[in-house]
Amino acid sequence: MGSSLPVKPASASGQSTSSSTNTPQNRSWWATSWFLALLVALGVTGATVTWHHKPETHSLDYAVCSTNRTIYTVDLDLPNVQCIVVHDSLISDTGDLEDITLRWRDRWWSEIPLAGVLHLPWPFNFLEPSLRVINIQPDSIVVPGLTDAHAHVLQYGFKMNLNLEDCTSVDEVLSHLKAYVISHPDILGDPTRWIEGMGWDQNKWPGAQYPHADDFDREPLLRGRRISLARIDVHASWVSNRVLQLMTPLPETIDGGLIIRDEHGKPTGIFVDNAMDLIPSQPFSEARAMEYFTRATGDALAVGLTGVHDAFSVPDEIQFYKKLSETQKLPLRLYLMGSVNSDDYWGKEIPRLIQHGLGGRLTVRSVKLFTDGALGSFGAALLEPYSDNPSTSGIMRVQPDALAKLVREFAIDGWQVNIHCIGDRANHVVLDIYEDILANASFSVDALRPRIEHAQILTLDDIKRAGKLGVIPSVQPTHATSDMWYAEDRLGPYRIQGAYAYRTLLNTSPTRVLPLGSDFPVEGINPLLGFYAAVSRLSVKGDSPHGPGGWYPSERLTRAEALKGMTLDTAYASFSEDILGSLSIGKKADFVVLDRDIMTVPMEDILGTKVTATVIDGEVEYGKL
């Protein structure tokens, strides 16, 4: 990481060290001698000298500097600086090394009696403290701490336990499951134990058809076992015949969901959206939650995340985080969106917490509601039928009237409301609800900061309306580059114009706010995957359905906009722009050191970037300075 060098203080007079008795240096010598003699006399007579400064605090101060001025602050007034100074958990100064050193020394002296009269000259200036300076490598950069505006922390740990994302066929899934069972003796010897995993995607398989419960029975080791596998988007699940037996009898239909059946009406083992609630699940376990949490936060810090907006936290999980935050400092900042599966008001079922726990890293002041499903599982609610499946227009998981009632009740109670919307119908319904609420003068858009999570497919008119209302679209750029291979087939050439339209959404925002997230574990946890997708509109292989120029390249963001979307915009979307999101004086000392300049390197080099250090509250949580 570069050297840690003390800054040598300049002499108080700035003059050369001449031997003449009439030099300012020697005059200061006598003044200092008199001052030291006075201190000795005071000590001899029993008088007490009180030093009001706190050297133990200042000794912890340090500056991080870049000779190339590649510290990107995301502060419009001073976008690039040479150095930042960390004091306790805050950024106390920014600027050039010489200037911040002088200001730091002046602050040190200002806390010492008689400091306005006397500064220690040479040779006594060795008594002054030195500001520790950490110089990053010439090719490295510093950026504000990166925050994922939409992700799922415990679900990430769950997925990593049995990850099926890379499977390209049903047979490959079965092979993974077999290996998993063999490697877990407790499951191998007990057929009643659940096998749960996540990540399968039929769109990657030959024929792109949903799998069947009978598929598991083709592998003898899996036959008769309780298997439940969530699709990559977590909007559909695939279960075994044994689980289907446990679920008998099943309803014919379910509001807001779908039970896939064969031509004889027999369930195939695929449950979509609200129908997934029928599937039995293991009870919440603190031990299992801790295992998942440790894996998720460790991986998050390693890729430069200092905060996560967790987009689905049920009451048991919130209590887990609350208890944990009160016994130890959380490894990163968590902004939780509480969620309860009910059409009745449930705001009293979750605690309201602002900068809670040790270090103040836990906040609960928002809720997560749902409207529809996902495009990949034909669950996104569209105004017109799917272009590649005219038999359906998707699923509305909740009726508009019930949703409107809930949103109003949460707004009255002071909760921020964040609503999952994928399809253009879902987005249209939610914008109607927000527009109705914001028409009431008692509701302020800045106080409520209503969010649409995903804002994936909108009509062009609704994009303009979202901007006019000031609704915050919270988007995930890697969804665009994952879905681009089939999205236009699903939506057709006209609807696609309002889909994954990040540039248009940003341009219509009155506050120029577009928070970026990943939706991990649906997508990768590395925020630079989203940064790259936002600025390139390309896959990680460098291609797209429109070639190397990117998929609908007019919707690309600039690198500065993408960085702001992962820092200051996520802070605004969580009411924390005054303390987070930029390397500005007085804000939390959350920052990341990267081994290359993602703001200038060739596009294809962005994804090779490594995190050297992840720092939160001035403390290194990953890597080293």
pLDDT band at 597 (very low <50, low <70, confident <90, very high): very high
Mean per-residue pLDDT, 579-606: 98
Mean per-residue pLDDT, 507-513: 97
Query: According to the model, what pLDDT value does residue 108 have?
Result: 83
How do the domains of the chain map onto residue ranges? 4-138, 151-278
Query: According to the model, what pLDDT value does residue 321 have?
Result: 98
Query: According to the model, what pLDDT value does residue 125 have?
Result: 55
Q: Is the pLDDT of residue 283 over 50?
A: yes
Q: Is the pLDDT of residue 45 over 70?
A: no
- HSE, side-chain direction, 13 A CA sphere, residue 498: 22
List, for residues 12-26, the tens digit of each pLDDT value.
333 333 333 444 444
pLDDT band at 161 (very low <50, low <70, confident <90, very high): very high
* Ramachandran angles phi, psi of 509, nearest 5°: -75, 125
Measured distance CA(328)–CA(337) in Å, rounded: 21
Q: Is the pLDDT of residue 549 over 50?
A: yes
Interacting residues of 153 by C-beta distance below 8 A, sequence separation 6+: 292, 293, 296, 297, 300, 308, 310, 334
Query: According to the model, what pLDDT value does residue 141 have?
Result: 98
Query: According to the model, what pLDDT value does residue 112 have?
Result: 67
Query: According to the model, what pLDDT value does residue 129 have?
Result: 73
- Tokens representing 616 are 């939160």
List, for residues 524-547, the tens digit of each pLDDT value.
999 999 999 999 999 999 999 999
Query: According to the model, what pLDDT value does residue 55 have?
Result: 39
Q: Is the pLDDT of residue 47 over 90?
A: no
Q: At CA 472, angle to CA 470 and CA 474, rounded to 5?
A: 160
Measured distance CA(489)–CA(458) in Å, rounded: 16
The CATH classification number of 151-278 equals: 3.10.310.70
Q: Is the pLDDT of residue 236 over 50?
A: yes
Helix residue spans in 17-86 (DSSP H): 24-44, 55-58
Query: According to the model, what pLDDT value does residue 123 have?
Result: 54
What percent of the chain has pLDDT above 70? 88
Query: According to the model, what pLDDT value does residue 396 have?
Result: 97
List, for residues 358-379, the tens digit of each pLDDT value.
999 999 999 999 999 999 999 9
**CA dist list (Å): 373 to 19, 30, 256, 552:** 83, 80, 9, 24
Mean per-residue pLDDT, 21-40: 45
**CA dist list (Å): 329 to 355, 361, 546, 617:** 12, 7, 47, 11
List, for residues 50-94, the tens digit of each pLDDT value.
333 333 444 589 999 999 999 999 999 999 999 999 999 999 999
* Ramachandran angles phi, psi of 235, nearest 5°: -115, 10
Mean per-residue pLDDT, 297-318: 98
Amino acid identity of residue 307, one-letter, is: G
Measured distance CA(404)–CA(228) in Å, rounded: 33
pLDDT band at 406 (very low <50, low <70, confident <90, very high): very high
Mean per-residue pLDDT, 287-294: 97
Q: At CA 501, angle to CA 495 and CA 503, rounded to 5?
A: 150
Q: Is the pLDDT of residue 35 over 60?
A: no
DSSP 470-513: TPEEEB-HHHHHHHTTTHHHHHHHHHGGGBS-HHHHHHH-TT--
Q: What's the mean pLDDT when you consider all of the chain? A: 90
What percent of the chain has pLDDT above 90? 86
Query: According to the model, what pLDDT value does residue 124 have?
Result: 52
Query: According to the model, what pLDDT value does residue 114 have?
Result: 55
Query: According to the model, what pLDDT value does residue 12 have?
Result: 34
Q: Is the pLDDT of residue 49 over 60?
A: no
List, for residues 430-488, the tens digit of each pLDDT value.
999 999 999 998 899 999 999 999 999 999 999 999 999 999 999 999 999 999 999 99
Query: According to the model, what pLDDT value does residue 26 have?
Result: 45
Query: According to the model, what pLDDT value does residue 362 have?
Result: 98
Task: Read off the pTM.
Answer: 0.89
Picking from 131, 127, 122, 124, the residue whose alpha carbon sits closest to that of residue 11 is: 122
Q: Compute and round to an integer the Cα radius of gyration of the chain.
A: 29
Picking from 578, 466, 445, 570, the residue whose alpha carbon sits closest to that of residue 514 is: 570
Measured distance CA(309)–CA(149) in Å, rounded: 5
- Tokens representing 285 are 């376990």
User: At which residue do the structure tokens 């900068």 appear?
Assistant: 355
Query: According to the model, what pLDDT value does residue 289 have?
Result: 97
The region of weakest confidence among 127-141, 494-508, 547-561 is 127-141
Q: Is the pLDDT of residue 577 over 80?
A: yes
